[in-house]
């Protein structure tokens, strides 16, 4: 009895591996139902050192107008962004069409998020030639709603 049980336990996984995954046609895939989709919680730290200091980081966007290249330079982009309530789930509309719903984050917190300066200059790696402003976000935000995506 024990030998046959052991053989069965060993053969079942091998049979499952031999079968392998099989592609589903769209009609069968549309009938597959899950629970609530996939939910995400995000804790994003951008360009922050453990001691909360910044280096000299830059985001550089080049543009060419009339054969002259200028650069938008955003200096020291960074901060912490925490988001809860991001969700991706398959849905069916009232007319029977299927779509993917991306739920907006229910709660977002910004801590020292932004950049130190923005400038437009000819040399993207040179000293910042001017300062058109800075952004610093600290606070919380709550949203509701969905972004709905249909494929064609």
What are the tokens at 78?
Answer: 């960074």
Query: What tens digit of pLDDT does each residue of 37-47 get?
Result: 788 888 988 88
- Please state the pTM of the whole predicted model: 0.59
* Residue 34: Cβ within 10 Å count: 8
The predicted pLDDT at position 34 comes to 62
Please give the pLDDT value at position 12.
Answer: 53
CB-CB contact of 41 with 81 (8 Å): no
pLDDT surpasses 70 at 16: no
3-state helix, strand, coil in the chain (%, to 5): 15, 45, 40
Residues 91-135: tens digit of each pLDDT:
888 888 888 888 888 899 999 898 888 998 888 888 876 788 888
Q: What pLDDT, on a 0 to 100 scale, did the predictor assign at position 18?
A: 59
Whether the CB-CB separation of 129 and 121 falls below 8 Å is answered with yes
Give residue-wise pLDDT tens across range 41-82.
889 888 866 666 656 788 899 998 888 999 999 888 888 899
- Indicate the DSSP class of residue 16: H
**What strand order describes the sheet that includes 117-121?**
58-65, 68-75, 117-121
């Amino acid at each position: 009895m024990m030998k046959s049980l052991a053989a069965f336990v060993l053969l079942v996984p091998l049979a499952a591996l031999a079968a392998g995954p099989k592609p589903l046609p769209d009609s069968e895939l549309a009938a597959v139902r899950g629970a609530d989709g996939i939910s995400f919680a995000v804790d994003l730290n951008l360009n922050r050192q453990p001691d909360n200091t910044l280096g000299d980081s830059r985001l550089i966007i080049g543009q060419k107008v009339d054969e002259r290249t200028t650069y938008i330079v955003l200096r020291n982009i960074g901060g912490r962004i925490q988001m809860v309530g991001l969700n991706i789930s398959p849905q069916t509309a009232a007319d029977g069409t299927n779509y993917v719903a991306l739920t907006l984050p229910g709660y977002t917190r910004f801590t020292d998020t932004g950049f130190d300066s923005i400038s437009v200059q000819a040399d993207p790696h040179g000293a910042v030639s001017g300062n058109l402003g800075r952004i610093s976000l600290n606070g919380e935000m709550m949203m509701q709603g969905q972004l709905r995506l249909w494929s064609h």
